[in-house]
A = this chain, B = another copy of it.
Amino acid sequence: MEQILKLIEGDLKKLEVSIDQLVSTKVGFIKEIVNYIVKSGGKRIRPILVMLSSKLCEYTGEKHITYSAIIEFIHTSTLLHDDVVDNAQTRRGASTANTIWGNEASVLVGDFLYTKSFELMAEGDNFEIIKTMAHTTKQLSEGEILELLKTSDINTTEEDYFEIIRNKTAVLFSVACEIGAILGNVNEEKRLSLKEYGHNLGMAFQLTDDMLDYNSYDEVLGKKVGTDLKEGKITLPLISAVNLSTEKEKALVRKVVEKQSITLRDFERVSAIIKKYDGIRYTSDKAMDYTSAAKDCLSVFNPSPFKDALLRLPEYMQQRKT
């Protein structure tokens, strides 16, 4: 991963400067919250995708920095609203914004980041990007609502799950890559390939995330697991296990996901069922399929250090432990 970051070192530095400048507002309080959440150790995966894709498409301007910031703002905005919806207390090991400043502030500063992003896009004067981004953010919002509707619903199907993660995660990865293609002004085939690459990468990313939420406990000491189960999020490790489990086991899972608050014992009992039916392996296999599909998408591009980086990225993401 370090090698990849080295390739776009300059751009990543410019991004941080740009984020600081772009959230400038007469309301100081907004900056305080935005700084807190935007600078709280996010991995900048989506901006990295904008940067690598732009370079892969031989874009030589500077606009990709602003679009990287916009993509990160929209992502941050969804985090702020998610934490309100999930009533989350911590994110990345730190207190969530809603815990510190209240739900009101999280809702409104999330709105600020959404609307600020659209203002920046409008100023960017690229109609193609505006259209694509507007459609994507609407899909994001549909994904969040679908997820809310399926909360604590033990009958959530694999199909529902893939629909949710496509909308809530993969579309933003996908558009990040597509922006690079639009800026680089490549042909339709390359644009669609990069878009598809981002989609597959996003799917693999979310699958891995959902897997780690059940699995990283043993490997990375202190990593908080079981958050999804606690929040009633029915993810693939659980869905695939429930599909194979006995009625008795199903009843146990149902009882746990419908509980207001769960105990470590609850988590362990559900984890045992997932283990019994190989739910982690099932999810990991799916992630691997998407990872390999992502790499295949890049075949239309000529060799370059940026292509190499994009080829290596999916595996780095899938192999991460946290």
Which A residues fall within an 8 A CB radius of B?
25-27, 29-30, 81, 84-85, 103-105, 107-112, 114-116, 118-119, 121-123, 125, 127, 130-131, 134-135, 137-138, 140-142, 144-146, 148-149
Contact = CB atoms under 8 A, between A and B. Distances in A.
Task: Give the interface SS of chain A, mostly helix, strand, loop or mixed.
Answer: helix
A84 B114 CA distance: 18
A141 B123 contact: no
A109 B135 CA distance: 16
Contact of A141 (B84, B108, B140): B108
Given A116-B138, A122-B130, A122-B134, A111 B144 contact: yes
Contact of A112 (B27, B123, B145): B145
Instruction: Kindly report how many copies of this chain are found in the complex they form together.
Output: 2
Contacts of A115: 114, 134, 137-138, 140-141
Contacts of A107: 81, 84-85, 107
A85 B104 contact: yes
Contacts of A109: 145
A138 B73 CA distance: 13
A87 B121 CA distance: 32
| Residue in A127, A130, A146 whose Cβ sees the most chain B Cβ within 10 Å | A130
Given A112-B141, A137-B115, A104 B27 contact: no
B85 A142 contact: no
A122 B135 contact: yes
A112 B143 CA distance: 10
Given A81-B111, A115-B134, 5 more contacts: A81-B108, A112-B141, A119-B137, A123-B131, A127-B127
Given A84-B103, A104-B148, A107-B81, A131 B122 contact: yes
Contact of A27 (B103, B116, B127, B142): B142
B84 A148 contact: no
B112 A114 contact: no
A108 B144 contact: yes
11 contacts: A27-B149, A30-B142, A81-B111, A84-B103, A85-B108, A108-B145, A112-B142, A114-B141, A115-B141, A119-B134, A119-B135
A107 B80 CA distance: 11
A123 to B, nearest CB: 7
Contacts of A121: 134
Contacts of A142: 25-27, 30, 112
A103 B125 CA distance: 36
Task: Name the 10 nearest CB pairs between A and B, nearest first.
Answer: A122-B134, A115-B138, A85-B104, A118-B134, A115-B137, A122-B131, A112-B141, A119-B134, A111-B141, A119-B138
Contact of A145 (B30, B119, B130): B30
B85 A145 contact: no
A115 B113 CA distance: 12
Contacts of A27: 142, 145-146, 149
Contacts of A131: 122-123
Contacts of A137: 115, 118-119
